[in-house]
Amino acid sequence: MPGDKAPGPDGFTGTFFKTCWDIIKDDVTAAFHQLHDLNGSHFKLLNSANIVLIPKKLEAKYVGDYRPISLIHSIAKIFSKLLANRLAPYLDTLVSKSQSAFVRKRCIQDNFLYVQNTVRKFHKLKKPALFLKLDIQKAFDTVNLGYLLEILELMGFGHRWWEWISILFGSASSRALLNGSQGDSFEHRRGVRQGDPLSPMLFILAIDLLQQILNLATQHGILTPLPLTSAKLRTSLYADDAAIFLNPVREELAALKEILHIFGKASGLVTNFEKSSIHPIRCEEIDLDHILHHFQGSRGAFPCRYLGLQLHTRPLRKVHIQPLIEKIENRLAGWKGHLLNRAGRLTLISSVLSSMPTYHLSVFPLAAWARKRIDKIRHSFLWKGKAETNGGHCLVSWPLINKPKDLGGLGIINLEKFSRALRLHWLWRAWRDEDHPWQDAPCDRTDRLFFCASARVSIGDGRKAKFWHDSWLDGMAPRNLAPHLFELVARKIIQLLVSFSVTIG
């Protein structure tokens, strides 16, 4: 339990529990013994929360512009964290590969990369399809508790878990905290709490059923299969951010709408079609007006924004990267950099400016002009505290500044090398774990050659290692040790296990 987190209604922080544990441990342990025995009759006294509103954007005016975060009573939060720690190791087996939020060894880039690869494959092969981005109304706040308990039972959770979830969410109450004053208390009838450690995991279990329903609809002919064999998943889910691939058929769109309507009534996760958008892929020769006649949302085109990144059927152009540059420039506006010393500016560059492009770099290589522009912003801010300056004010060359501090530099990252390191991580993940939704890593030929030259393969059962191409023989690849023999071989891509089986046979 972090020591500096904002406390709930009881006012106790993690630091208090750690400091005074010898005094309070008997009382805390007694409370958890009662919960273990499923005695939650008085737990509602320890299960209250203060709701604070965090603005989602600048100049927030309306209730919808704020995100409600629950500051929960410390005992309830510890109990929730305990259950979350027990559940977390099993989420990977409980949740489909379409969902990557809050699951260990999965990340948001998995979803984006899968969707981008699928969109580009549809476009390249000239296969018509529809990409639908769903907007789910107040997702965390509307989950039906009865539906959630039923899902847990169907997934094989035992009676004790079922009772614990009932106690934790059935006895919850909250007060809105406005300008430091508490409002009237109200009890929860639905929804999971944002700010509760267990709630995100329960939410993804609740929404994951949508993927299973769509799979069943495809198996029973209600929805037709996608025309790409590489499109393993029809749905991409990141928490409540849902996207669906669909064939451009009017009846299929109507069937999907009915499925989402039924799912919303059962789960409480209602789709707001007016805020949803649909993006056609290779549908130039199809009458979209007829197909989308009853679709209430907007019709978009590519590029579009998905999970905070530009999703396009082609490589990104300058106009698509320019907003990232402008975002970095705008960050300087409120800093008053000329009033800071160079050590302060260096801290801001390392912790803020250098980290802003990281999410983009993890999926897209950054064009040379963009790297130069970001480097210019960074070195101008370092030496003069503003976004523009001439070379005469730079006291040390930029390559020297990029070096680590123990080599005489200032430790500001080199974007080109950092970008390559992020891309090489995809190749490592592809090698380590074959069970991922995406197929094509965002790497070029140089990245792959660099990875092969840097990696050393330790032989296990021989199922993954490629006989000719991987460096498994004294740190070298057989194709490099015997190039003439490699030229004579018919099967140049073969696993080590297969090659030895063929030789022995």
The string of DSSP letters for 292-309 reads TTT--SEE--SSEEETTE
pLDDT in tens, 453-473: 777 776 766 666 777 667 777
**Which DSSP string do the residues of 351-370 spell out, in sequence order?**
IIITTTTHHHHTTSPPPHHH
Query: What pLDDT, on the 0 to 100 scale, is given for residue 501?
Result: 52
Query: What pLDDT, on the 0 to 100 scale, is given for residue 144?
Result: 93
Q: Which distant-in-sequence residues (6+ apart) come within 8 Å of 225 by Cβ?
A: 218
DSSP strand pairing (298-299 vs 304-306): unpaired
Query: What pLDDT, on the 0 to 100 scale, is given for residue 505?
Result: 40
Contact between residue 164 and residue 152 where contact means Cβ atoms under 8 Å apart:
no
Query: What pLDDT, on the 0 to 100 scale, is given for residue 504?
Result: 43
Contact between residue 281 and residue 123 where contact means Cβ atoms under 8 Å apart:
yes
pLDDT in tens, 187-245: 888 888 888 899 999 999 999 999 999 999 999 999 999 988 777 889 999 999 999 99
Give the H/E segment covering residue 181: strand 181-182
Give the H/E segment covering residue 53: strand 48-55
Residue 42, phi then psi, degrees to nearest 5: -110, 10
pLDDT < 50 regions, the chain: 502-505
Query: What pLDDT, on the 0 to 100 scale, is given for residue 231?
Result: 78
Query: What pLDDT, on the 0 to 100 scale, is given for residue 117?
Result: 92
Residue 461 burial (C-beta neighbours within 10 Å; 0-12, 13-18, 19+): exposed
What is the reported pTM? 0.87
How many secondary structure helices (H) and strands (E) does the chain include?
Answer: 22, 12
Which structure tokens are listed for 357? 């492009």
The whole-angstrom separation of Cα 463 and Cα 73 is 51
Q: What angle do CA 162, 260, 203 make, to 5 degrees?
A: 30
